[in-house]
Structures are given as structure tokens and as C-alpha cells.
Amino acid sequence: MKNHVWRPLYLVLGFIALFLVIRHFLVPKDFGVHGKNFTYGFHRAGNIQEWQAVPIKYHGRESCNECHPENVAANASSKHAPIQCENCHGPAMNHPDSPEKLPIDTSRELCLRCHGALSTPGSQRSRIKGIAPDSHNPGTPCTDCHNPHKPDLEGIR
């Protein structure tokens, strides 16, 4: 056959070979079908371990109880018992190493998440005691009068 046929053919074959070589080095070894089938399970297997290794930030009240049992117990006997410590105190992260002290959210906005009065017929929200934030001691932090660990009126400051 003529030279002008062979030369582009060699070029194409060369490109294919180059593509295969590059692909061999770029695509990770664990790439393949690992799940249900090709459509849903075609991926890099190592990524699952990468996701599992993400550090945990919220440790739950059991973890708080190890050092602060009196506060956990006080809250547990109140109406706020179902609220996790970290909802107001922030995620523990690596506390007490870092951060050494957790910033407590004592803003009105935090309390208003549940106790801001809304007209919500058909929702549990209407069963929680709510205030109108504009008329109920505006500007004053709720914690000036109410104890979040003892929210009943007998715990008022």
C-alpha cells in the first residue's frame, strides 16, 4: 500500500498507544465497578474510606457527661431535656484541647428558634410557648431572666 495510507495509520496507532499509557498512570488502580452495577457502582474504591475518615465534630451529650455531669443532669430533669448540649454550646470538636472553651450561644435568636410565636396550625410549633420578640423585653438576652437548664418559671432569676 502507499505511504500516504500508512503514515496517518501509524500516527493514529501511536496516539492510541500514548492514550493507553497515560490512562494507565492517571487512573487509580482501585477504579472499577464496586457497587450494584456499572451504572451506580463505577468509582474509586478508596473514596469510601476517605469519607469515613472525616473527623466528627458533634460528640453528643454522653461525651459532655464525662466531665460536666452536674450540668447534663440539671438539663436532663428540665423541659429542655431533649435538646442536645451542643445545640447551644456549639460542636465540641476536640474540646477540651481545641477549642479550650466552647462559645455559648446566649442570643435571643437561639431561643426564638422554638419560642418565637408563629401562627402554625397543624404543627407542633403551636404547642410550644412562644413570645412576640418585638414586645417581650426586646433587646434583653433571654438568659438574664430564664435559666436555660431550668426553663420553668421556678428557675427564673
Q: Which residues bind another protein (CB under 8 A)?
A: 31, 34-37, 39-44, 47-48, 50-58, 60, 82-84, 86-87, 90-91, 109, 112-114, 116, 118-125, 128, 133
CB of residue 21 to another protein, shortest distance in Å: 20
Torsion sign (Cα): 86, 144, 70, 150: negative
Nearer to another protein, 6 or 105 (CB): 105
CB of residue 105 to another protein, shortest distance in Å: 9
What sections of 53-143 are H helices per DSSP?
61-65, 69-76, 85-89, 108-115
Nearer to another protein, 11 or 105 (CB): 105
Nearer to another protein, 68 or 125 (CB): 125
Rounded to an integer, what distance in angstroms lies between the CA atom of residue 1 and that of residue 16?
22
Nearer to another protein, 14 or 60 (CB): 60
CB of residue 100 to another protein, shortest distance in Å: 18
CB of residue 3 to another protein, shortest distance in Å: 39
Nearer to another protein, 44 or 146 (CB): 44
Rounded to an integer, what distance in angstroms lies between the CA atom of residue 80 and that of residue 124?
15
CB of residue 127 to another protein, shortest distance in Å: 8
Backbone angles phi, psi at 29, to 5 degrees: -65, -30
Within 8 A by CB and 6+ apart from 4, the residues are none
Select from 25, 20, 43 the least CA-distant residue to 33: 43
